[in-house]
Structure 1
Amino acid sequence: MTTKKYEIDEFAFIGRTFTEYQKMFDFDPASWAGQSILDCPAGPCSFVAVAHEHDITAVGADKMYNRSPAALSSSCAEDIETAMDALDGVEDLYVWEFYDDVSELRAYRERAASRFLSDYAHNGDRYVYADLPATPFDDHAFDLVLSAHFLFLYDDRLSYEFHLETIRELCRVGAQLRVFPLHGFDADQSDIAETLVKDLQSEGYTTDIREVPFEFQRGANKMLVVE
């Protein structure tokens, strides 16, 4: 087993495109038309902006959404640079199929950030401040909640209790929750995933781990579905 690890401090404010979300969460946009969807934490992802073009009522929530567009633009640029630099020497932890190389990966991150920043500046009501595990939304406010690249990924700095409380909260506000990926930065499946699923089931939640048509971290091609 490799001992190499992708290293990044704090929490990276980098985003994914709508196209990446389609693969990570395995959906056809047409099937979600007319639904209300929460992306949390949404970061500088372009999902919310593009979802509205597909007749999807999407809202993003994030702890960073109390900042100005200029401040978020600066954070995006800095964190993209840091994230790309951190790949040096650990490229073999990843599957280079969806992205041809680091240059194309950077282009996706910059494209997501650009679309997000424009929408954040012009449609600010779509973006809501939320400091997990709390959110400001009513019970059952959304048909679906998406949570990408936060839970499990940062299991070296977010406690088991935080994961459980956050999933409970996101299930409170949405009929279904999808979480991707289930891996930490060490490229192994999170040690807490199995225990968390068992605890959720014991509390009455229905859980399912589904394979998705996306793999960048080696082996990280599954999402957790909770209802």
Structure 2
Amino acid sequence: MSDRFEVDREFLFLGRTFEEYLDLFELTVDDVTDGPILDCPGGPSSFTALASALGTETTAVDPMYDRSLDELEAECSESIERNMAQVREKRDLFEFDYYGGVEGRGRFLRAAAERFLSDYERNPDRYVSASLPSLPFADDAFALTLSANLLFLYDDRLDEAFHVDAARELARVTGGELRVFPLASLALERSGLVDPVADALREDGHGVEFVPVDYDLRPTAEEMLVVDCEGNG
């Protein structure tokens, strides 16, 4: 059995729940009551729906947001099925204490997708169709930007130039703090692109830290990149 988690499509359309976001980004509810906040890429995460319900101005960005509700529902179902088939097959690569077992992971994925789809239908203005490394927002538009499960994870298909440009773009639209998780690739090891991205952000004058997180689905993915973007421009 391969020790690599295989994704046989360009990307999977998977999301996390609001509660997972708090844990994987080391946030509290109080941390997300002041906005505006950007979730990029948002995928079928329920974070924007729940943060908005708290009264926080929150925007999610994903190239898939130009699709119809029915198309996104089908994409969510297929992506969850593909992901869970591999999780079951390669369960020894993961820790499932957080989810209470393998099938608990699937329940979280489905819960996130259901809340996302409901909010996408009712509040489409919160969901912007756009792609890194070019975002349709002004400099310093967001107080907090969260970026999960794109950068570094897909380092086998997104090269160093993309990673640097994408990280710089996320920092550009952020007037406060940018948090990126995970720093591990599909090969379940720290991506070799982490240091070049961190170096580029430091060259731009940003403070960069690597912060441990209390989230342990993958034993090699237990830290996030935190970028101090204050003072942009």
Q: TM-score, normalised by structure 2?
A: 0.94
What pairs up with 1:190-209 in 2 under 5 angstroms?
190-209=191-210
- Contact between 2:46 and 2:112, CA under 8 Å: does it hold in 1? yes
1:220 counterpart = 2:208:
no
In 2, distance between residues paired with 1:32 and 1:6? Answer: 31
Alignment partner, residue 24 of structure 2: 24
3-state SS of 2:76 partner: helix
In the TM superposition, what is the alpha-carbon distance from 1:101 to its structure 2 partner?
A: 1.9
Which whole-Å deviations, capped at 9, do the CAs of 1:25-64 have from their partners, x for residues lacking one?
1111123313210000000000000001222211100000
Runs of 4+ in 1 over 4 A off after TM superposition: none
Structure 1, unpaired ranges of 5+ = none
In the TM superposition, what is the alpha-carbon distance from 1:202 to its structure 2 partner?
A: 2.2
1:92 counterpart = 2:92:
yes
Which whole-Å deviations, capped at 9, do the CAs of 1:90-142 have from their partners, x for residues lacking one?
21211111012221100000000000000000000000011211111111111
In 2, distance between residues paired with 1:200 and 1:123? Answer: 34
Equivalent position amino acid for 1:31 in 2: D
Which whole-Å deviations, capped at 9, do the CAs of 1:74-100 have from their partners, x for residues lacking one?
000001000011124321211111012
Quick one: percent identity of the two aligned structures? 41
3-state SS of 2:38 partner: strand
- Contact between 1:180 and 1:224, CA under 8 Å: does it hold in 2? yes
Alignment partner, residue 231 of structure 2: none
In the TM superposition, what is the alpha-carbon distance from 1:216 to its structure 2 partner?
A: 0.8
Structure 2, unpaired ranges of 5+ = 229-233
Equivalent position amino acid for 2:194 in 1: A
Alignment partner, residue 15 of structure 2: 15
Equivalent position amino acid for 1:210 in 2: V
- Contact between 1:8 and 1:86, CA under 8 Å: does it hold in 2? no
- Contact between 1:44 and 1:112, CA under 8 Å: does it hold in 2? yes
1:4 counterpart = 2:8:
no
Q: RMSD value over aligned CA atoms?
A: 1.3
Alignment partner, residue 78 of structure 2: 78
Equivalent position amino acid for 1:25 in 2: F
In the TM superposition, what is the alpha-carbon distance from 1:3 to its structure 2 partner?
A: 5.6
In 2, distance between residues paired with 1:118 and 1:59? Answer: 15
Q: Which moved more, 1:143-152 or 1:192-201?
A: 192-201
- Paired residues in the alignment total 226
- Contact between 1:18 and 1:50, CA under 8 Å: does it hold in 2? yes
In 2, distance between residues paired with 1:213 and 1:30? Answer: 18
Q: TM-score, normalised by structure 1?
A: 0.96
- Contact between 1:30 and 1:54, CA under 8 Å: does it hold in 2? no
What pairs up with 1:94-133 in 2 under 5 angstroms?
94-133=94-133
